[in-house]
Amino acid sequence: MITIALSKGRIFEETLPLLAAAGVVPSEDPESSRKLIIGTNRDDVRLIIVRATDVPTYVQYGAADLGIAGKDVLLEHGGAGLYQPLDLEIAKCKLMVAVREGYDYEGAVKQGARLRVATKYTHSAQEHFAAKGVHVDLIKLYGSMELAPLVGLADAIVDLVSTGGTLKANKLVAVEHIRDISSRLVVNQAALKLKHDRIQPMLDAFAATVAANA
């Protein structure tokens, strides 16, 4: 059995064409089904539906052989025990620093002010500000980061931006681009060896589809 860990929502939707190219069609839609283990047209392939941030953990421990996770999630996880053979070029967005409209971010940085930064991405944020030599107090949040500057919890946030609509709706502006983000295929290192004859053709099909879409 090959087990693939996926999260619901944008990653699941954008993964469907890749799975189809590898001859895998889920037998149920996780958005409407409450099942966490979903069969496919292939007896030897199943999907497990987990939180986006938990995908690397399931693959690391071998509870899933393969998974698809955002680079944002992989940077926070650290990647131990994971082989990351392929950028799938899906669920693209940017990791950015944002502040309230009118907040003088550049001025605060120039003055050497100690900034309070709220984020779910503490590892990436830490690295970014350390590289710039900016002193920050990081405040860990698990969602709705956009709220933090509006209610005085933080001066800035580090969050993912795709259309920019969420920032705009909350009167925030992006002031720094940290990195481009897309989702990667992750593979359990032991599974790749032990189940090589079944996993490698899937990797090849995914790679061919990504190349065809480029």
Task: Give the three-class secondary structure for 163.
Answer: coil
How far is Cα 30 from Cα 33, in angstroms, rounded to an integer?
5
**Alpha helices in 23-121, H assignment, sequence order:** 55-60, 71-77, 105-110
Nearest to ligand PRT of 109, 148 (CB atom): 148
Binding of ligand PRT by 9 (CB under 6 A):
yes
Nearest to ligand PRT of 121, 129 (CB atom): 121
- Total site size for ligand PRT, rule CB under 6 A: 23
Among 38, 52, 115, 118, binds ligand PRT (CB under 6 A): 52
Long-range contacts of range 137-140, CB-CB < 8 Å, 24 or more positions apart? none
Binding of ligand PRT by 51 (CB under 6 A):
yes
How far is Cα 11 from Cα 14, in angstroms, rounded to an integer?
5
Binding of ligand PRT by 11 (CB under 6 A):
yes
Binding of ligand PRT by 149 (CB under 6 A):
no
Q: Which secondary structure element, helix H or strand E, spans residue 185, and what is its range?
A: strand 183-188
How far is Cα 158 from Cα 178, in angstroms, rounded to an integer?
9
Binding mask 89-128 for ligand PRT (x = CB under 6 A): --x-x-----------------------------------
Instruction: Name beta bridge partners: 86.
Output: 185
**Alpha helices in 70-175, H assignment, sequence order:** 71-77, 105-110, 122-132, 165-169
Among 10, 42, 116, 123, binds ligand PRT (CB under 6 A): 10
Q: Report in angstroms how near the CB of residue 38 gets to ligand PRT at its nearest.
A: 16
**Alpha helices in 61-171, H assignment, sequence order:** 71-77, 105-110, 122-132, 165-169
Binding mask 151-180 for ligand PRT (x = CB under 6 A): --------xxxxxxxx--------------
Binding of ligand PRT by 73 (CB under 6 A):
yes
Residue number, nearest CB to ligand PRT: 70
Residues that bind ligand PRT (CB under 6 A): 7, 9-11, 51-53, 70, 72-73, 91, 93, 143, 159-166, 181, 183
